[in-house]
Amino acid sequence: MIWFKFVLCLAIILFAGTKLAWYGDAIAEKTGLGRIWIGLVLLAAITTMPELVTSMSSVALVRPPSPDLALGTLFGSCSFNLSILALLDILHRSTPVLTEASLRHTASAGWGILLIAIAAGSILAGARFSGLALGRVGVPSIIILVVYLVGMRQMFLSERGHQSATAKADSLQYKEIPAKTAYLRFALAAAAIIAAGIWLSFIGNKIAETTGWGASFVGSLFLAIATSAPELVVATTALRIGAIDMAVADVLGANMLDITVIFPVDVFYSKGFILSSVSGSHLITAVVVVVMNLLVILGLRLRQRRKTFIVISWYALALIGLYIFGAYALFTSGTSLG
């Protein structure tokens, strides 16, 4: 029965995620903000809601609180999101998908590396940082939030000068959809994703209990995949409608937000500083995510015109390999964890 509920939650998120892509693209057209900014901010914020709600519920509603389940969901979602780019490369048959994406995405990947490096450093330091807190929130969590806000401001200033031409080129694509309709249906899809995310937190905790695999592994695999389903559907749908930049921006923007979610999770965690309370096995995922981000930056900068292996580029194959390696390494180290 628990697996049926898991699949049902996944189905809800998949359906709602498809709607998010279409109406997100319509909003990009009607507001003139451009696909990159809509993907980086609006779509990323909504598709990250399952991770936010699931991780917060794991420390605030689930009993006993499970910080490993919360952080495993966030870190695991980052690695799964990046593997989505490999799927996009396979689906984009003509050229490597990152060749068609804007070089401006390298900034998002770079900020993502910085954010997860801060989180990983705090986990590695462990109890040595436990006294560095403002009220109930650890100073590293505050630093993560500040770095995210600074990064988003810098990217907004950089992106602002590149938006008008794209908006004009696509101005008639969603002419038949009223603006109010686009906003309303986008909001309804977002609400469905949030509701499913709340349910997922309890399902994930139950899976951890019944399988004995441990909260770190369950969070980093099952919950991470389920809560990343919106990114998967939004990205593939965006690719299908020709909005490659929106797809890549959603993935990289969601990763930045996934790490920033550590701040509100820390606020709701009542037993201390969350990054000093979790298993060191999360460092495996953190290292994998950093390397995957570096591969994405290389793929963006090399601008190769042909795929290395006919149907897949070298960096896409490496992304898949890294994700599998990270999942296996976490499984072998985390099955003995509670």
pLDDT at 162: 66
* 219/157 Cα distance (integer angstroms): 35
Torsion of CA 304, 308, 313, 318, to 10 degrees: -120
Query: Helices (DSSP H) in 61-96: which residue ranges?
Result: 67-91
pLDDT at 114: 97
Q: pLDDT tens track of the chain, all 338 residues?
A: 778 888 888 788 788 888 888 888 888 777 777 778 888 888 898 888 888 888 888 788 767 778 888 898 899 899 999 999 999 999 998 899 999 999 999 999 999 999 999 999 999 887 566 566 676 788 889 999 999 999 999 888 877 766 554 445 445 577 778 888 888 988 898 888 778 767 776 676 677 667 666 555 665 566 677 778 788 888 998 898 888 999 999 999 999 999 999 999 999 888 888 888 888 889 999 999 999 999 999 999 998 989 988 899 999 999 999 999 998 887 777 543 33
| E strand residue ranges, the chain | 133-134, 137-138
Token pair in block for residue 271: 């037993």
Q: Angle 14-18-24 (CA atoms, 0-180°, nearest 5)?
A: 135
Q: Over the range 23-43, which residues count as b (16 or more CB within 10 Å of their CB) and which as e?
A: bbbbbbbbbebbbbbbbbbbb
**Domains of the chain and CATH, by start:** 2-334 (1.20.1420.30)
DSSP class of 92: -
